[in-house]
A and B are shown apart, each in its own frame.
Chain A
């Protein structure tokens, strides 16, 4: 069954089609949510939010992109909103005295150090850079798909990826 048939059946209220749509895209949405959330609870919450929104707006889907890209756009919108909300909450709740100390510069020792540093450097990227880096270099989406998900041109997506990689190389330069 192709996406169009599936959508038609879901809109007609077919519960099996709803489940099929969910089964088809849940792993994609979950991966994306987890990469931005970093923990199971929030990733599960964002995955649910994504599908609730997707089902409620399915009648608006016109096939201008693949269904997976359209659901991905909702997932990334939910995830980025969640990240912003978490940042706001953290900035309100953590005073300077309670804030964790800045990471101390140490001599690189192991491969795991580099892995951790890379993770921290990705976390520290600006929202747009991080989104493009995670979607392209981690999840493997094309620039065209990323453009459709984020509402930017493919040129912007490429430029942001270039800058994100530059920032990451800079952050990891001690290991070079």
Chain B
């Protein structure tokens, strides 16, 4: 197989590579039933929405965040005090995640509102590639196990991967990505996570 790397794998090794974790026949029916059951348990496929509805979700989320923030302040209990090495580590990951989310928010806001210069402008894909690397690193830390944060990181991984590919794709795709950002309410979700802050607890002596 020509791959442009000028170092073809030796035929013997290539044949052996095919045996690397050779997949057995899948149980297609069992998996299909499981998929159907899971989809019935959660909201299903999102049908395309009319333009006016694109803003309904982000606006609703923003309103809920404001309401939640107000209620949280009103009903707040004294902060939990956490000590020890785990607290230091968790806090470090939370701070890193918050700093990263702030950078992504700035980047996506810039991307969404910037002039349509792509694909000639390679700044956005380069930045997206760097942020994509950080996203994958974060998914590998305890911050990536946060039930609030993980779905957002996974969605960001896909969006950043799309932007990272922009320079190699036809012009006009930027608008499609922006449209996807709006429909997923990505910026509103990011802002709600950024405003929620990195520290749910005071970590005594952690830093």
Contacts and interface: CB of A to CB of B under 8 A. Distances in A.
Contact of A56 (B14, B46, B140): B46
A162 to B, nearest CB: 5
A90 interface: no
A151 B140 contact: no
Interface in B172-186: 173, 176, 180, 183-184
Please report whether the interface of chain B is mostly helix, strand, loop or mixed according to DSSP.
helix
Interface residues of A, number: 65
Given A148-B165, A151-B129, A152-B164, A59 B47 contact: yes
A22 B129 CA distance: 31
Please report whether the interface of chain A is mostly helix, strand, loop or mixed according to DSSP.
helix
A11 to B, nearest CB: 6
Given A48-B38, A77-B157, A165-B7, A151 B165 contact: yes
Contacts, number: 153
Interface stretch (B18-26, B61-69, B71-79): B18-26
B34 interface: yes
A152 B21 contact: no
Contacts of B140: 84, 87-88
Contacts of A59: 45-48, 183
A44 B30 contact: yes
B103 interface: no
Contact of B23 (A13, A31, A56): A31
Q: Kindly state the interface size class of chain B when it binds its partner.
A: 35 or more
Nearest to B2: A142
B32 A22 contact: yes
Nearest to A19: B32
B9 A47 contact: no
B88 interface: no
A150 B164 CA distance: 10
Contacts of B14: 137
A43 B30 CA distance: 13
B154 interface: yes
Given A11-B47, A13-B45, A64-B169, 18 more contacts: A26-B28, A35-B20, A38-B21, A44-B30, A48-B35, A51-B35, A52-B39, A58-B46, A60-B180, A80-B136, A84-B144, A118-B17, A119-B19, A122-B17, A133-B17, A151-B129, A152-B129, A172-B13
12 contacts: A11-B48, A34-B23, A37-B21, A51-B35, A56-B44, A60-B183, A64-B176, A87-B140, A114-B16, A162-B5, A165-B9, A166-B7
